[in-house]
Structure 1
């Protein structure tokens, strides 16, 4: 597949839509995709014509996470920098960031959902962060955000013990906002998004910034620390 098509960028009125589009690899994210998404988010942050960004996936997966078959063809340092910038773009995005999770979200695809303002999911979705199983460590700010969202014990289940969280459980513990039947996901999600679009944007954005003010710096610091530890875990993994 042409690399330029692995992230599909479209516009619906003032809403920018990003779609992970590599269905043959379950929308696994490679280095090019990390860079594209970060660039689009950073540009949308500065574009007055964009009110919010919606992220979703093609076919049956939201995203299976890092594409190890492709992205590590870059040097490890380059890939880690792309990963760090990708996460930072989610953290710093000042406007509404909404995910429509059309299927399983694994690894970085799951951790960055915790950086979104709203998450709508298909009943077929699940959320899985099997970092120990992969001999690596947590990323995406998840060592901070998961504890804030779902509590210390459930965060430990997810990040330490390879727990696969169903959409039903994710809703119950507060990891996501809504679960819809798979064939109703798009329509129901966009119905909610269009309701939000009618609300006063200035008030919403000001309050979003107030909400994240109390942990914004901690999130950026957490990303820095997680990335440094991830580097060490990758080095140790390569020596196995």
Structure 2
């Protein structure tokens, strides 16, 4: 059976790779659970100094697997998707993201919680929550207006406008936009090894200090977003939009 989350060690660097290419790395409940567990274990393992989160050189993730999501939708804060969010948010080790191809929904919002982000210039990022009758998640309703301003954030969250990796880098949502997915993976791993070579406690303390301001507010916003997201999933708007999406996507 194919592993949908591939975990690989290279010295002090742990790579967590999304591996569901036939579904454009769409995330299932099981994948969220595996990611959450892997992040928790890495955080507790003193021999892990840095983490790379990536997909393939052609696709990061198309977001939630809608069919899987609707079969057993999240009902409380212990649902796999929210466990993953908490694990990434709580991770003390630096996390480096490598993004090529599609980064949809949580594939974009999770980047707001990574420490270094490298993208392919032609990567396509999008948060179509409202388009699916849903609402923003993972702190995006707070962090995007803070980082990009209210007007640009409204275009991304209310209209669900897509943007490129080049734009993400220009807007400060990524460290750099590179020529292709292979270059992105190389750069992400190079950066992770640079981090891993530094004093681990100093890196972790620095990360904690940078993230401390506003952390309590962010946690409150994520919880409020999560409960609202659960309610929105049951709404007639979301049911109609998600059903239409599944029907359109069916072969």
Where on the TM-score scale, by shorter chain, does this alignment land: which range?
A: over 0.9
Query: How many angstroms apart in 1 are the aligned matches of 2:77 and 2:67?
Result: 13
**SS of residue in 2 equivalent to 1:162:** coil
When structure 1 is superposed on structure 2, of 177-186 and 158-167 the one drifting more is 177-186
Q: Residues 37-76 of structure 1 correspond to what in structure 2 (within 5 A)? A: 37-76=35-74
Contact 2:52 2:192 in 1 (8 A): no
What RMSD over aligned residues (CA atoms) do the two structures have, in Å? 1.8
Query: How many angstroms apart in 1 are the aligned matches of 2:234 and 2:67?
Result: 17
Q: Which residue of 1 aligns with 2:141?
A: 143
Higher RCO (Cα < 8 Å, 6 or more apart): 2
Contact 1:115 1:145 in 2 (8 A): no
TM-score, normalization by structure 2: 0.88
Instruction: Give the deviation of 1:80 after TM superposition.
Output: 7.5
- CA 1:15–1:23: 2 relative to 1, 3 Å: same
Q: Which residue of 2 aligns with 1:202?
A: 201
Deviations 1:34-70 (A, max 9, x none): 1110111111111111111110002521000000122
Contact 1:23 1:59 in 2 (8 A): no
- CA 1:80–1:130: 2 relative to 1, 3 Å: farther
When the two structures are aligned, how many residues end up with a matched partner?
238
Contact 1:64 1:104 in 2 (8 A): yes
Instruction: Give the deviation of 1:78 after TM superposition.
Output: 6.8
When structure 1 is superposed on structure 2, of 218-227 and 187-196 the one drifting more is 187-196
**SS of residue in 2 equivalent to 1:70:** helix
TM-score, normalization by structure 1: 0.92
Query: How many angstroms apart in 2 are the aligned matches of 1:151 and 1:238?
Result: 27
Q: Which residue of 1 aligns with 2:249?
A: none
Query: How many angstroms apart in 2 are the aligned matches of 1:90 and 1:125?
Result: 22
Contact 2:57 2:185 in 1 (8 A): no
Contact 1:26 1:60 in 2 (8 A): no
Q: Which residue of 2 aligns with 1:184?
A: 183
Query: How many angstroms apart in 2 are the aligned matches of 1:75 and 1:215?
Result: 30
Q: Which residue of 2 aligns with 1:169?
A: 167
Task: Give ranges in structure 2 of 5+ residues lacking alignment.
Answer: 241-251
When structure 1 is superposed on structure 2, of 165-174 and 51-60 the one drifting more is 51-60
Query: How many angstroms apart in 1 are the aligned matches of 2:219 and 2:143?
Result: 12
> Equivalent of 2:80, from 69, 79, 82?
82
Deviations 1:145-204 (A, max 9, x none): 212322222211111111101111111110111111114222233333333333222222
